[in-house]
């Protein structure tokens, strides 16, 4: 359906545009994704003594989730293009919900090695189901928002996932105090069901398809309202994506940035307790400050990148934030380990995580400019790299932290941050991909 045909019998313009309601759904999916991911690490405190699991086994459960999450990024983006965002988010949401619910129920049927294997499999399935969430979201943003708003909405969605990460520890802890770890995981799964049902009813792939979108809103989007995701993406097109210079540069840069992301996101608590000698209670509260700083910074970074891309053009505008903030993150990592005062180290760590997360909007907007009608698949490649950074960081930091060599762990992070920034000197999102061949 064309925009001209779609304006016939459209409802009157609404004060809050439909595209922002669509955005709120995707904000919610980001929030729920990180709530589901982080829940088991908090519940692990009760799971270990009750199920006779070691801390190392809880770590392997986290690795199983991250592995599933990583390997399904690109295939999930391709699946999203083929099925459409509306159907894909419902399907993967239901699979993730089933894995979340099955996890606390598994001990009712299994024990010992069989239970651990089942828990690992369920975490892998949970991660795999969540893998397409952000690539598919990128495709939704690509069709529902004009390009100058892409960094903003991407940054704000990243705010949602960081808020999910920050809310999970107190939420699951309080539910465990009131009930137990099994009921805590079950009760925390309910919001996901409500979100999936609401999206299935209200969500649409494009503005033209949505009956509540007014003619005024379509006019605001202009010709962009007719933008379509390439649902017939071919193997040849996939090969073009895999060989594209800017896709590879952005993905490699994102690998580097996410070493720092996972260093802080997954190891902050251990660093504060083991190296800075905070109590577990103090460390738990102080460890919530970096994700809160990251949540705020994600929104700010997206807004700045949108402003700069309008003022200075897409190529220069999107590069400004990473070229400034990633070297700053390198310096802040040095200040973290060098600070004589433990609370100054916490402050430097929070500012560092904020400096890293300023970049979510620029990275994701850049890959959307490159991918265009293949934004979901291109974003899947980008986020494969991002989570590969986590797979790389986890064994390195685990090895070094066990030997109390935190300075070297952060030094590697500083080098990664500088390397990630350097790639932006040669990235040009305006080159884009060649148009897909049509039959």
Tokens of 367: 């890959």
| Cα–Cα distance measured from residue 279 to residue 210, given in angstroms and rounded to the nearest whole number | 53
Residue 368: pLDDT over 90: yes
Tell me the DSSP string of 147-214. GGGHHHHHHHHHHHHHHHHHHHHHHHHHHHHHS-HHHHHHHHHHHHHHHHHHHHHH--SSGGG-TT--
Where do the DSSP E strands lie in 6-155?
none
- pLDDT interval class at 13 (50, 70, 90): low
Owning domain of residue 105: 11-431
Residue 237, helix vs strand vs coil? helix
Tokens of 180: 């137990």
Residue 324: pLDDT over 80: yes
Angle at 88 between CA 196 and CA 147, to 5 degrees: 100
- pLDDT interval class at 19 (50, 70, 90): very high
Strongest mean pLDDT among 6-20, 152-166, 283-297: 152-166
| Cα–Cα distance measured from residue 108 to residue 19, given in angstroms and rounded to the nearest whole number | 44
The dihedral built from the CA positions of residue 53, 112, 70 and 26, taken in this order, carries a sign that is: negative
- pLDDT interval class at 227 (50, 70, 90): low
pLDDT for res 322: 97
pLDDT for res 241: 87
Nearest to 168 by CA among 154, 157, 179, 184: 184
Tokens of 395: 């064994």
pLDDT in tens, 264-286: 887 787 778 777 877 766 766 77
pLDDT in tens, 116-166: 999 999 999 999 999 999 999 999 999 999 999 999 999 999 888 888 877
Establish if 305 belongs to a structural domain: yes
Run of H or E including 436: none
Tell me the DSSP string of 394-417. HHHHHHHHHTT-HHHHHHHHHHHH
Establish if 59 belongs to a structural domain: yes
Lowest pLDDT segment from 105-119, 217-231, 332-346, 416-430:
217-231
Q: What is the mean pLDDT of the chain?
A: 88
Residue 218: pLDDT over 90: no
pLDDT for res 68: 93
Nearest to 413 by CA among 393, 395, 384: 393
| Cα–Cα distance measured from residue 162 to residue 170, given in angstroms and rounded to the nearest whole number | 14
Residue 14: pLDDT over 70: no
Establish if 438 belongs to a structural domain: no
pLDDT for res 400: 86
Establish if 182 belongs to a structural domain: yes
The residue among 414 and 232 whose pLDDT is bigger is 414
Tokens of 219: 């006019």
**Structural domain count of the chain:** 1
Percent residues over pLDDT 90 in the chain: 54
> Would you state the torsion angle of the CA atoms of residues 243, 246, 252, 253, taken in this order, to the nearest 10 degrees?
180
pLDDT for res 439: 47
Nearest to 390 by CA among 372, 365, 413, 361: 413
Nearest to 346 by CA among 395, 292, 302: 292
Phi/psi at 227 (5° precision): -60, 135
| DSSP secondary structure code for residue 13 in this structure | P
Residue 2: pLDDT over 60: no
Number of other residues whose CB lies within 10 A of the CB of residue 119: 25
Distance (Å) of CA 104 to CA 43, 47, 51, 171, 260 = 10, 10, 11, 16, 32
Residue 184: pLDDT over 60: yes
Establish if 1 belongs to a structural domain: no
Distance (Å) of CA 194 to CA 35, 199, 200 = 15, 9, 10
Q: Contact 329/402 with Cβ under 8 angstroms?
A: no
The residue among 35 and 233 whose pLDDT is bigger is 35
- pLDDT interval class at 226 (50, 70, 90): low
pLDDT for res 111: 87
Q: Contact 369/147 with Cβ under 8 angstroms?
A: yes
Residue 254: pLDDT over 90: yes
pLDDT in tens, 47-106: 888 998 887 788 788 889 989 999 999 999 999 999 999 999 999 999 999 999 999 999
pLDDT for res 10: 61
Establish if 4 belongs to a structural domain: no
Q: Taking residues 329-354, what's their average pLDDT?
A: 93
pLDDT for res 224: 64
- pLDDT interval class at 237 (50, 70, 90): confident
Q: Taking residues 386-401, what's their average pLDDT?
A: 85
Residue 110, helix vs strand vs coil? coil
pLDDT for res 408: 94
Residue 217, helix vs strand vs coil? helix
> Would you state the torsion angle of the CA atoms of residues 40, 30, 136, 7, taken in this order, to the nearest 10 degrees?
150
Residue 438: pLDDT over 60: no
Q: Taking residues 344-372, what's their average pLDDT?
A: 94
Establish if 344 belongs to a structural domain: yes
pLDDT for res 280: 62
| Cα–Cα distance measured from residue 172 to residue 42, given in angstroms and rounded to the nearest whole number | 7
Lowest pLDDT segment from 41-45, 130-134, 215-219, 418-422:
41-45
pLDDT for res 431: 87
Give the residue carrying structure tokens 């991250």. Answer: 66
Q: Which CATH number belongs to the domain containing residue 122 in this structure?
A: 1.20.1250.20
Establish if 177 belongs to a structural domain: yes
Alpha-carbon radius of gyration of the chain: 22
pLDDT for res 281: 65
């Amino acid at each position: 359906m064309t925009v001209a045909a779609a304006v016939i019998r459209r409802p009157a313009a609404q004060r809050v545009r439909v595209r922002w309601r669509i955005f709120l759904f995707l904000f919610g999916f980001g929030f729920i994704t990180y709530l589901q991911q982080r829940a088991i690490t908090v519940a692990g405190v009760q799971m270990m003594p009750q199920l006779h699991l070691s801390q190392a086994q809880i770590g392997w459960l986290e690795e199983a989730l991250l592995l599933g999450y990583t390997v399904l990024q690109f295939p999930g983006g391709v699946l999203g293009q083929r099925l459409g965002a509306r159907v894909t988010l419902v399907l993967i949401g239901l699979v993730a919900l089933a894995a979340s619910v099955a996890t606390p129920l598994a001990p009712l049927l299994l024990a010992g090695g069989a239970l651990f294997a089942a828990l690992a499999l369920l975490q892998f399935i949970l991660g795999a189901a969540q893998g397409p969430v952000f690539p598919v979201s990128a495709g939704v943003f690509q069709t529902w928002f004009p390009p100058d708003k892409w960094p903003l909405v991407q940054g704000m969605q990243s705010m949602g996932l960081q808020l999910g990460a920050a809310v999970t520890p107190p939420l699951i802890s309080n539910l465990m105090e009131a009930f137990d770890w099994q009921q805590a995981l079950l009760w925390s799964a309910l919001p996901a069901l409500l979100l999936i049902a609401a999206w299935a009813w209200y969500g649409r792939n494009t503005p033209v398809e949505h009956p509540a979108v007014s003619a005024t809103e379509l006019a605001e989007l202009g010709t962009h309202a007719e933008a379509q995701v390439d649902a017939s993406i071919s193997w040849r097109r996939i090969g073009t994506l895999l060989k594209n210079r800017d896709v590879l540069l952005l993905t490699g840069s994102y690998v580097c940035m996410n070493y720092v992301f996972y260093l802080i996101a997954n190891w902050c608590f251990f660093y504060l307790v083991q190296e800075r000698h905070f109590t577990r209670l103090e460390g738990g509260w102080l460890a919530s400050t970096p994700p809160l700083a990251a949540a705020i910074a994600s929104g700010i970074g997206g807004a700045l990148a949108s402003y700069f891309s309008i003022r200075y053009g897409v190529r220069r505008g999107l590069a400004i934030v990473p070229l400034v903030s990633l070297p700053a993150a390198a310096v802040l990592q040095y200040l973290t380990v060098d600070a004589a005062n433990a609370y100054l180290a916490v402050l430097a760590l929070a500012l560092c995580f904020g400096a890293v997360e300023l970049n979510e909007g620029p990275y994701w907007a850049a890959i959307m400019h490159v991918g265009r009608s293949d934004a979901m698949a291109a974003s899947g490649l980008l986020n494969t790299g991002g989570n590969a950074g986590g797979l790389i960081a986890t064994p390195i930091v685990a090895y070094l932290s066990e030997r109390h060599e935190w300075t070297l762990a952060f030094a590697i992070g500083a080098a990664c941050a500088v390397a990630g920034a350097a790639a932006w000197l040669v990235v040009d999102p305006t080159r884009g991909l060649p148009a897909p061949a049509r039959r």
